Structures are given as C-alpha cells and as structure tokens.
C-alpha cells in the first residue's frame, strides 16, 4: 500500500479535510505535516460537523493512528481541548495520537507578539489568524524555539516558559501567568505522546499499509512557493512532508492536489480572479465561505488556471480532487482564467507583481441542477462534466475525485 501526500493547491480552505477523511478509510496512519491551530479542517459525517485544527483528520476513522510531524507548531492547550472534545464524541483521539519530539510549541505570549506585529504593519497587515503561528516559526528558524522534547525535562521547561513570559513585561506577566502554567502542564502531556514517527511510518509501509500525509493551508500560502509576504509561515507543499515526517522523497507513491471549483482566500494579498458584489456574495453563501478558524468571510473569485497549473507542478501532483463543485450550480455562465493579459512573465510572479497581472477569461455554460445527490460521473450534468474536464486541462493533472457536497458520502470517483 502506498504513501499518499495530500496538499491544497490554492490559498487554503480547499476542502482537504473532507478529502483526507474520505481517503483515510482503510488507512493505518494519517500524519499532519505542517501548520498548527491556524488550520481548520471540516468534516461532515451524517448530522455531525467537526472542525479539526491540529489533529490529523484521519483520526476520525476507527483504528487510524494520528501523527503530528516535526514541521508543525503545536498549541498544546488547544490540542488537548480538541482531543477531549473528540473523546466526548466517542473518538479515542488522544489514545491514538503520536507526536514528533521535534515539533515546536506555541507559547501563549506568541499571540501578543503577533498582534503587535500585525498592528505595526498598518494597511499592509497580513491578516493572520492570530494563533501565534508566525512567531513560533520565527523562533524555530532563529534557533530559540521550545520543542516537544524540551517538555520532557519539565522543571527546565517551566523555567524557560516563565522566562519568555517575563520578557513581555510586568503587565503580561500577571495577566498571562495562569495561561503559561497551563501551557507548561499541557506541553508535558503532549511530550508524553512523543515517538519515533519516522520509524512508525516506515514500519506501516513495510507491512503494506496505507499512510496518508495531510498538508495544511495551501500552496499559494507557502513561504517559498506562495504569494509572499501574504503567506503563512509553515511549508504547505508536498516536499515538506518528507522533512516533517522523516521520510525520503523516494518513499512517496502519490501526490494528490485538492483544488476548489472556484477560488477563495482569507486575509490580505493579491487575488487576480477576485469577484465583488452579488456574485461573490452568492458563492460565499452557497459555499459557506467563512473561515473555519476565525469566522472571517472569505474573498471569492473565479477558478485561476495559471495558478492551479503552477501549484500542481510545484507539488508534482499525480492527480487532483476537485471540491465544492455543487456551489457553482445555478450560475448561468461560469468564467475560468486561462492566462494573463500581455506578454507572459519570465517566471511565476507571486509577490506584489501578481497584483499587476490581469487575468484572461473564457466562458463556460453553467448547470441549473443541484448535484449533491449524484454518485456517478455519468449522471453529472454535461455542463458540470465539461467544467471539470476544463479544470483538469488548465491544471495539467487528471481529476479523479469530485466532491459534490459537504457530507463524506458526497463524492464521485471518476474511473476513466
Ligand atoms: P497565519 O498562518 O495565521 O500566520 O496567517 C497567514 C495567512 O495565512 C493569513 O492570510 C491567513 O488568513 C492565512 N491562513 C492561515 N491558515 C489558513 C487556513 O487554514 N486556511 C486559509 N487561510 C489560512
């Protein structure tokens, strides 16, 4: 059985949670390899709607071992709360969780630091989730971070954590003291989950079991591949699965790119195909395009062919899963961007230069029907099939999975 890496091709919120949940049936291990509590992976199962922020989505399936990789930054307090919530629903999440000792921990003061940093940027603020993600990665790469393994030496760890608090001045020291004490306690609990995750994954593969590596955010939010500086701070591309999980690139069998049938982004930064007005509102309402972590309304726009192709090749996608196709139902004419006006740039412009590019659109016929209940490719309206085929051509990788609604049962596997 293979090792499959699943990544988002846009600015996050592509519906990776649903695709990972769907593919994790029969998996032995599901490992999150990036991000932290900034992510919000939503799964609808029957009447239940669950939003996972830090736990690997695959944990919802009985018998799956969940792993959090070294490339993640862990907020131990919210991780324990999330696990507790699942325990109450009868999912033995904490019991089946293992963590890399090398993952970094998000100290409560990092949120303060992030808020101040965002304020200092004024109109150029990134629009982060304010979960302390940026400061945690800054400390990691500045070689001043707190790692899970540090919490194994609890006394030293408590001293270090309190020293960080003292650095934020006397007001913070009194208002955040209880939070830091809880942080220390929960970090120690997380440290009890530390394991040699690389060996675990390799063992599962040697036994012929299915292992999924679950990304967070999306390629266009990656600090190297994305729309810098309007990006997150953890790596979102398939290659990052290797360093985070301790597996070589030669062990990856398949890379799956999750692409939305249209485009969305939360926070600031260039968005060439962005829509405004009633059509954007229509898509936002039908797609429930509000942040799963922050509740912020997401910016909505047309499918962007050049950016999708760029993201697909950056990840080396073998195939794609297209999500939220049902949301486009009822729009007469759909537009897809297939290039940029003027001469092609010599290299992908993803920084401020992207804002100056004007997309070129082609029109496609929409479909009036609701497609949620449809379970086979052949039964989809012809216009919806044509749309998927066009997304596939513009992205440069075959679409094998079509998601037609929020529930885990609302998927169509395309065999041909
Ligand atoms: P941070 O990850 O909180 O530092 O935020 C940096 C940028 O990434 C902001 O524009 C956020 O809105 C965006 N972002 C972070 N996590 C997600 C996510 O899970 N989905 C969509 N956008 C995200």
291 CA to centre of ligand 1 in angstroms: 9
Identify the residue whose tokens are 């139902």: 329
**Residues 216, 301: one domain?**
no
Q: What is the rounded distance in angstroms from the CA atom of residue 204 to the CA atom of residue 411?
A: 27
Mutate to test the pocket of ligand 1, among 131, 215, 266, 296 (most ligand atoms within 8 A of CB): 266
Pocket test for ligand 1, best of 7, 129, 265, 289 (most atoms within 8 A of CB): 129
Which pLDDT belongs to residue 327? Answer: 98
Q: Are residues 58 and 169 located together in one domain of the fold?
A: no
> Which residue from 96, 93, 2, 104 is spatially nearest to 43, judged by alpha carbons?
93
Residue 129 Cα: closest atom of ligand 1: 3
Report the CATH number that the domain containing residue 16 is assigned in CATH. Answer: 3.40.440.10
Among candidate residues 149, 172, 191, the one where a domain is terminated: 191
Do residue 271 and residue 397 come from a single domain? yes
Q: Where does ligand 1 bind, in terms of residues with CB under 6 Å?
A: 11-13, 38-40, 126-129, 131, 133-134, 217, 221, 230, 232-233, 266-267
What distance in Å separates the CA atoms of residue 87 and residue 195, rounded to the nearest whole number? 21
Diameter of the chain measured on Cα atoms: 66
Query: What is the CATH number for 292?
Result: 3.90.170.10
> Is the domain of 296 the same as that of 351?
yes
| Separation of CA 416 and ligand 1 centre (Å) | 36
Q: Mind listing the pLDDT tens digit for each residue in 349-391? A: 888 889 989 999 999 999 999 999 899 999 999 999 999 999 9
Buried b (16+ CB within 10 A) or exposed e, 68-80: bbbbbbbbbbbbb
Domain range for 288: 260-413
Co-location of 337 and 356 in the same domain: yes
Best of 51, 55, 115, 217 to mutate for ligand 1, by most ligand atoms within 8 A of CB? Answer: 217
Among 238, 255, 272, the domain boundary falls at 255
Distance 28 CA to ligand 1 centre (A): 29
Those residues of the chain that have pLDDT short of 70 are 1, 416
216 and 85 share a domain? yes
- The answer to whether the beta carbons of residues 237 and 7 sit under 8 Å apart is yes
Q: Are residues 275 and 369 in the same domain?
A: yes
User: Measured in Å, how far apart are the chain's first and last C-alpha atoms?
Assistant: 21
User: Please, what sign has the CA dihedral across residues 233, 98, 319, 403?
Assistant: negative
Domain co-membership, 40 together with 160: no
> What confidence score (pLDDT) does residue 416 get?
58
Same domain, yes or no: 250 and 274: no
Q: What is the CATH number of the domain that holds 133?
A: 1.10.300.10
Strand pairing class (41-45; 48-52)? antiparallel
Last residue of a domain, one of 172, 191, 210: 191
Our count of domains for the chain comes to 3
Dihedral of the alpha carbons of 380, 381, 387, 392, in degrees to the nearest 10: 30
Residue with tokens 């994954």: 201
pLDDT value for 366: 98
Whether residues 173 and 69 share a domain: the answer is no
Nearest CA to ligand 1 atom 8: 232
Catalytic residues: 13, 41
Q: Are 406 and 51 in contact (CB under 8 A)?
A: no
Closest CA to ligand 1's atom 5: 128
Distance 37 CA to ligand 1 centre (A): 10
Whether 275 and 360 share a structural domain: yes
Q: Can you tell me which atom of ligand 1 is nearest the CA of 234?
A: 2
246 lies in the same domain as 272: no
């Amino acid at each position: 059985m293979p090792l499959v890496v699943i990544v988002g091709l846009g600015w996050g919120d592509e519906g990776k949670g649903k695709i990972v949940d769907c593919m994790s049936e029969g998996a032995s291990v599901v490992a999150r390899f990036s991000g932290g509590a900034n992510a919000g992976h939503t799964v609808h199962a029957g009447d239940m709607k669950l939003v996972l922020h830090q736990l690997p989505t695959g944990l919802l399936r009985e018998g799956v071992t969940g792993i959090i990789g070294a490339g993640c930054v862990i907020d131990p307090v919210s991780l324990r709360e999330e696990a507790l919530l699942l325990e109450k629903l009868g999912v033995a999440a904490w019991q089946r969780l293992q963590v890399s000792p090398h993952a970094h921990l998000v100290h409560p003061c990092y949120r303060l630091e992030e808020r101040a940093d965002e304020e200092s940027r004024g109109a150029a603020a990134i629009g982060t989730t304010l979960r302390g993600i940026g400061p945690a990665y800054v400390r990691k790469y500045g070689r001043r971070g707190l790692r899970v393994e540090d919490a194994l030496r609890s006394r030293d760890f408590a001293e270090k954590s309190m020293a960080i608090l003292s650095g934020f001045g006397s007001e913070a020291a009194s208002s955040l003291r209880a939070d830091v004490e809880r942080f220390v306690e929960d970090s120690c609990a997380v440290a009890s989950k530390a394991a040699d995750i690389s060996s675990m994954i390799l063992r599962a593969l040697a036994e012929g079991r299915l292992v999924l590596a679950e990304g967070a955010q999306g390629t266009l939010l990656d600090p190297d591949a994305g729309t810098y500086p309007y990006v997150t701070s953890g790596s979102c591309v398939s290659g990052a699965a290797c360093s985070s999980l301790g597996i070589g690139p030669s062990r990856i069998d398949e890379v799956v790119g999750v692409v939305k049938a249209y485009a969305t982004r939360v926070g600031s930064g260039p968005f060439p195909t962005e829509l405004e007005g009633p059509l954007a509102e229509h898509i936002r309402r039908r797609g429930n395009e509000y942040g799963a972590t922050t509740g912020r309304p997401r910016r909505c726009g047309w499918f962007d062919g050049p950016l999708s192709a760029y993201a697909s090749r950056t990840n080396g996608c073998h195939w794609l899963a297209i999500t939220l196709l049902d949301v486009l139902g009822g729009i007469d004419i759909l537009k897809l961007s297939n290039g940029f006006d003027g001469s092609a740039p010599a290299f992908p412009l993803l920084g401020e230069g992207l804002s100056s590019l004007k997309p070129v659109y082609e029109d496609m016929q929409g479909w009036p029907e609701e497609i949620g209940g449809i379970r086979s490719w052949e039964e989809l309206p012809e216009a919806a099939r044509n749309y998927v085929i066009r997304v596939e051509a513009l992205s440069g990788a075959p679409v094998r999975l079509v998601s037609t609604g929020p529930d885990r049962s609302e998927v169509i596997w395309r065999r041909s």
